[in-house]
Amino acid sequence: MTNHDDVAVQLRTVDESIRRAERDFGRKAGSVTLVAVSKTMPAERIRPALVAGHRVFGENRVQEAQGKWPGLRAEFPDLELHLIGPLQTNKVKEAVALFDVIQTLDRPSLARELRKEMDRQGRQPRLLVQVNTGAEPQKAGIDPREVPAFLAQCRDEFGLAPAGLMCIPPVEEPPSAHFALLARLAMEAGLPLLSMGMSADYEAAIQLGATHVRVGSAIFGARNPVSAQ
């Protein structure tokens, strides 16, 4: 038998510091949603978080999520699952069927496929546009300068209405400038949701307006480095 009590304890610690950050930074109580990032973690390590009452989770791979979430959802039907990793167009069908929120809309070809699958399945996952705030060549996401045009294209060409923006700042830079940029882009576009901040920097993200923080290792512990991506 493995003891997973630590997950419930760490979940509560993170949740308390989110509520404290809401108070400290003048955010409305309950305005920040904790997305517990359970990638690489087996179902038996996720279950204690569900038993403790947590319902919002993030996964970065469609196939891995398909292996563990349908079973957990049978037990906890009211959970909310977010896709926070890159989405290939050939996995859109599975992603639309499984996820409630897709945070990584980052190109027109993906928007086109999402439109098709959403119509086919009659499911409407919420969409966030991933923004490459650091303009890193190897990283997914819309260039910050292209965000207004991409949002207009989503609306006019595909009939999609993304609800917000998400970013993963460059690892080697202080994240706050990236959070501030994302917040400004969302405000200019009139979008209510902002997914930013991870284990190391979610408090700074809350200060700058995050509505969703994506926290993995601070809740579930370190991931196996081989499968950490």
Ligand X SMILES: *Cc1c(COP(=O)(O)O)cnc(C)c1O
**Which of the stretches 89-97, 174-182, 184-192, 194-202 binds ligand X when contact is defined by CB under 6 A?**
194-202
CB hemisphere CA count around 216 (13 angstroms):
16
Q: Name which of 141 and 144 has its Cβ closer to ligand X.
A: 141
Residues 119-178 touching ligand X, rule: CB under 6 A, are 168
To ligand X, the closest distance from the beta carbon of 119 in angstroms equals 27
Q: Which residue has the tokens 């009939």?
A: 159
Q: Which residue has the tokens 């904790």?
A: 34
**Which of the stretches 8-16, 109-117, 174-182, 214-222 binds ligand X when contact is defined by CB under 6 A?**
214-222
Q: Where are the alpha helices (DSSP H) in 76-194?
A: 92-98, 108-121, 147-158, 176-189
Binding mask 71-100 for ligand X (x = CB under 6 A): -------------xx---------------
Q: Name which of 37 and 191 has its Cβ closer to ligand X.
A: 37
Burial of 43 (0-12, 13-18, 19+ CB in 10 A): middle
Neighbour count for residue 218 (Cβ, 10 Å): 17
User: Footprint of ligand X on this chain (CB under 6 A)?
Assistant: 37, 39, 60, 84-85, 168, 198-200, 214-218
